[in-house]
Chain A
């Protein structure tokens, strides 16, 4: 597969390490959230047949974590973003 890196352009997916559903960005706050919330966050998956937002790490590249929007049936990739930008846009901060 080829992932169009937002900074580096097309790169072979072999350079990346796959993590999974991009919802892993939305980690609850451990000081306020309990086991149920963390369970939902860490274990439950929508696992769609179709468009899937997922995390890839450019380990053999620039070490950017990316959020890749990819169709799990056709493997077509329609969007690639820097995970850092996505995280910020979702209001993650200290």
Chain B
């Protein structure tokens, strides 16, 4: 299909032709086109359907404020719903489809809603669909949900990459129109670090859409020259295709650069978009203004457009939207459209000017005091009905109508800190108020300065003020026409619908109904009618809506006020906000020193925070995880097992007050711990709840090594720094984490010592290295290492640590040299089994809700000294004798199954909360005992040892008779670990 509506000129590259399809039909366009301009050039006006009434719609704008021309761009995993055709840059091979219609854009069955519109008045759904009760969910809502929504989402993963970054500058300029370019030039020429961002792919703003001259040359040429000069400056960064989405605290701005959206696919390794966080002390908002329409009956037909857009399509994109064009305006800027179109040879059949008097345009039929009261043309404008000053009505055949109701400064970003804009009667629009984000100045049309000269001047002056400069570049010559406007918000006539929010189908009638029902606050208006809640955020409609509400309530427009402007300025792809943190890269991995060995063995890994730990290490022939875990446990208890415990937090605590410091952060005492010994420590939060536990060793007079749980390594360190800096700053204590510096292995089992003796250079006999001993040693002929004789498994056990780089080698060495003991490497599952067999508390018990008393460790909380949590642990609610106590649980029938999370019920008791006795915190299968065992918190559990109860899992129907026993299932006297 030929580009029937293309006219000479414009800023498109006619030397290249792009092919693209819309709803399957092939069209052509040129570099420099948007999808909308290219479709219009091909004579296509119908591009979408509205949300509620499914009215046929074409674009009303040439920019990001577009409410109507939304399409599904691209296909497959790249399918992109709700894309504005007016900003989608054309590329060769582009495919787009219309959306929210069935079966086709021209014949949409859902358009029945339009005929039934009387029943779909604002908020009708709040008043019905209530009977019968069940019908809402079963019938009405499913139908509504299917009908609602705009574009559809792919189920495939987005194949494109997104990136993020940080930029720093002295001045950020938002918007590269005349004001922004002048501001950037002013700052750039004196060598300041400037970032100039513009959402368009061609900088220049309205200058590209106008025929005004700047400095004696066409505005677009002036803009191009300035861009050339700026791009040569090393201190200036030009970001086109970049939308500043929000002003955040302390001079941080978010911006999204669409790096590859104008390409069929991004180059290999390159992102589709980049989210920039821009740090700057000064910024200038020069984001221009957005034209608003006038509400009149059937003002939403394809072919009816903002006058400035009609002009932009002709001037920038060399497109005449129609063969016979009319303009309806309440201000002088609308007249400019008529003049420009005529100059480009477009037939302007009438200018309908709502204002009385004033000078007449020459060479065109200029109707003063006239209004457009209705239009015709189902799928596209065919005619308008005009009421003239004398009341006479006339129908004029046109296929395009430009409407100008005045221009609204784009105050959004200036209002992102919730400062309200103020009303400027001179231009009949809101302008930025006195209080915006600190450091943000406003220039040009965004400040309500609508002439080219005023834009250039304010842009320069804003840069001078922002950077405290005294002089800047001379201003080029430019028009300085005054704004002449007589506000007209809507045409009062007849019973038909006049649209305000075109996408959400909010009409003047809806505003009147809201008033009638006393939804008169502007927030109520928005929420009740959905005015301004569409994808265009009401950029064209909001002010009209609240102006009409002001009219109805007799309040002034400023009294009525605006709703709150919130980021983002235009909608942002989720991918850009997420950047690279997706899929497997959602969070970084932490690998243990034995990871590579374990991978060789085909180990199964488990996520523990960001760590990947070995869960178990299957041997050939083992088909079920229990086989591996049971083997690892039995082999450890029979001979010796090795487990990588590097993930436990390690903190070096040094200083002359290190011992006293530990006394205050631990509930129990450490200052009395002899050098060369370690001790189990219990750490409370200030509220008396158990925070963390672990063993801490005294390596020297003023040197301790603390271990924390894997989960709390970071928070414990943070807490210690708080205590050190904020609570007891006089203490001589130095802290540093050594978690990753040491590869640490637990070596447990009757043959643990024998195995270690194969690698340790020193004497570690029971006499030389007794239970709870700790010290610096060497291994394998002189490698520095640390040894702690501690046991989590209840076996004779040690933890041995070497510098991380030697961890892998130490493990292989122990396995090789200790081969005669048939050592096994066990994972977190076996570790869990053995600690439950011993009744040691861990994750399930350290739940942040439990006290030392609950855990049966009440005696560890020393009252002889001040320590974090000591006082508040004594509150009545935490010392209830009938409160939870840690117990062991075993099924009465050895084949009985237990589940962690099951609750305790007395035999015969109903499964109701009143009978809830507590719950199972951890459950394992004990190969040693040959049945399930569990730990649990049971009310008054210490007095229920030996009793029989039920462990019930209502989620699966599991109901097991259990005996309450001591949590120490295995070697309660602890003879083995002292062996």
Contact = CB atoms under 8 A, between A and B. Distances in A.
Q: Does A touch B (CB under 8 Å) in the complex?
A: yes
Interface of A: 1-2, 12, 17, 19, 24-25, 27-31, 33-35, 38-39, 42, 55, 57, 59, 63-65, 74-77, 82-84, 87-88, 92-94
Contacts of A59: 714, 718
B872 A55 contact: no
7 contacts: A2-B252, A27-B727, A34-B871, A42-B872, A87-B726, A92-B726, A93-B729
Contacts of B248: 1
B250 A31 contact: no
Interface in B674-691: 686-687
B13 interface: no
Interface string B864-900: 0111001110110000000000000000000000000
B466 to A, nearest CB: 18
Given A1-B249, A19-B722, A75-B249, A30 B727 contact: no
B718 A17 contact: yes
A76 B438 contact: yes
A39 B725 contact: no
Given A30-B866, A35-B875, A76-B438, A94 B660 contact: yes
Interface in B754-801: none
A19 B871 CA distance: 21
B872 A35 contact: yes
B730 interface: yes
A24 B279 CA distance: 32
B140 interface: no
A2 B731 contact: no
B252 A65 contact: no
B740 interface: no
Contacts of A57: 718, 721-722
A57 B279 CA distance: 22
Contacts of B721: 57, 63, 65
Contacts of A29: 866
Given A1-B252, A65-B721, A25 B726 contact: yes
Contacts, number: 82
Nearest to B438: A76
How many chain B residues sit at the interface, stated as a range, is 20 to 34
B251 A2 contact: yes
B250 A93 contact: no
A65 B250 CA distance: 21
Given A34-B871, A38-B872, A87 B727 contact: yes
A24 B685 CA distance: 13
Nearest to B248: A1
Contacts of B718: 17, 57, 59
Nearest to B723: A27
B686 A38 contact: yes
B420 to A, nearest CB: 15
Given A38-B686, A39-B872, A59-B718, A87 B725 contact: yes
B728 A94 contact: yes
A35 B874 contact: yes
Contacts of A93: 728-730
B736 to A, nearest CB: 9
Contacts of A38: 686, 871-872
Nearest to A76: B438
Contacts of A92: 726-730
Contacts of B865: 31
Nearest to A59: B718
- Of B251, B279, B718, B874, the most chain A CB neighbours within 10 A belong to B718
B722 A75 contact: no
Nearest to B721: A63
A55 B727 CA distance: 12
A84 B249 contact: no
B124 to A, nearest CB: 39
B726 A83 contact: yes
Contacts of B725: 64-65, 82-84, 87
Given A29-B866, A35-B872, A38-B686, A2 B729 contact: no
A88 B874 contact: no
A77 B730 contact: no
Contacts of B279: 2, 12
Nearest to A83: B726
Contacts of A77: 250
Q: Which 3 A-B pairs have the closest CB atoms?
A: A30-B866, A2-B250, A93-B730
Contacts of A1: 248-250, 252
Contacts of A19: 722
B687 A42 contact: yes
Contacts of A76: 438
A76 B687 CA distance: 32
Given A30-B870, A33-B871, A94 B687 contact: no
A50 B871 CA distance: 32
Given A30-B867, A33-B871, 12 more contacts: A1-B249, A1-B250, A2-B251, A19-B722, A27-B686, A27-B727, A30-B866, A35-B871, A35-B872, A84-B729, A93-B728, A94-B728
A1 B437 CA distance: 12
